[in-house]
Amino acid sequence: MKLWRWLALAALPILLIGGLFFAVIASDDDEDQPASAITADAMNLSAEVYKHKLTVEKYCKEFGIPDQVMVILAIMQVESGGKGGDVMQASESLGLPVNTLDTEASIKQGVKYFASLLKSMKAAGVDLNTAIQSYNYGGGFIDYVAKHGKKYTLELATAFAKEKSGGKKVTYINAVAKDGWRYAYGNMYYVSVISQYLVTGGAKFDDKTVQAIMDEALKDQGTRYVFGGSTPTTGFDCSGLTSWCYSKAGIKLPRTAQAQYDATAHLNIKAAKPGDLVFFHSTSDTADYVTHVGIYVGGMKMYNAGDPLGYADLNSSYWQAHLIGAGRVKK
């Protein structure tokens, strides 16, 4: 967001949501929505970000984008981690010095600009990833993509940054930047960075049993991990969450991760389907081999009682190092 001071702000729909090839545009007319619009949910968000969820919901509703709550939270995670006052880094969008706005004013301003950015995106006929990258680059990127095929690509984001920076490069250390650099204008990897905190499809499943499990699980998304917890009142640990949620779908599971592993048919993770369990070893110091369990939701993602409760990417180095495999409840 540091580029806003250089942009003609009055002409920009301003940077508001980065990373969203996972969002849904709120609209009264479904035909106005681009074909690529799909729902999103958040994963790997910190407790500091989740504590702002109610405020984000309030302003998303006020500005007509109630479906964008989780996307806004993902942006907040990237911009500030939910810490400090200007959590959306929105001060510069008003021509103010960096970090001028307080927390609520920052969220309000961020959501307002995101709604404006989505409208500009639709008017130009470009895709959602373009709008996401424009949160970091400014509205000029929407016009740029509109003239170059109307669809975001990393190549276009890179070319735009190269042009604006005059070819100047800076060091950039992030898993998405394999070469360890970016051009010195915004962040050409912004879409990829935001996407690390979103899971496509939201919690929508064809199977009614899986849907019932996830409907229950999502009631406590963002709450803290509680060792030994097994109800919404006490809070949840990993196996407490799975046993509670599956019970609401009529499935009785044993209480511990090891016992749940022993009670399921074991599968390679590549064969896992939404609703299966995912098991891990050596995540804590216990006598059991199996020390953690989550709910597989598809696309190498799981929902689990981390800290806080929420989605996690099974491709991450941490989970890969501890992964045992999947387990399917025996019928």
Q: Which residues are annotated as catalytic?
A: 238, 292, 304
Rounded Cα gap, residues 156 and 147, in angstroms: 11
**Preceding peptide of 308 cis, ω within 30°:** yes
Quick one: which of 28, 24, 77 has its CA closest to 48? Answer: 77
Place of tokens 């799981």: 302
Rounded Cα gap, residues 188 and 182, in angstroms: 7
Rounded Cα gap, residues 245 and 213, in angstroms: 5
DSSP 289: S
DSSP 179: T
Quick one: which of 202, 74, 59 has its CA closest to 135? Answer: 74
Rounded Cα gap, residues 72 and 22, in angstroms: 11
Place of tokens 């939201």: 202
Strand pairing partners for 311? 43, 303
Rounded Cα gap, residues 247 and 245, in angstroms: 5
CB 125 within 8 A of CB 132: no
Rounded Cα gap, residues 279 and 331, in angstroms: 19
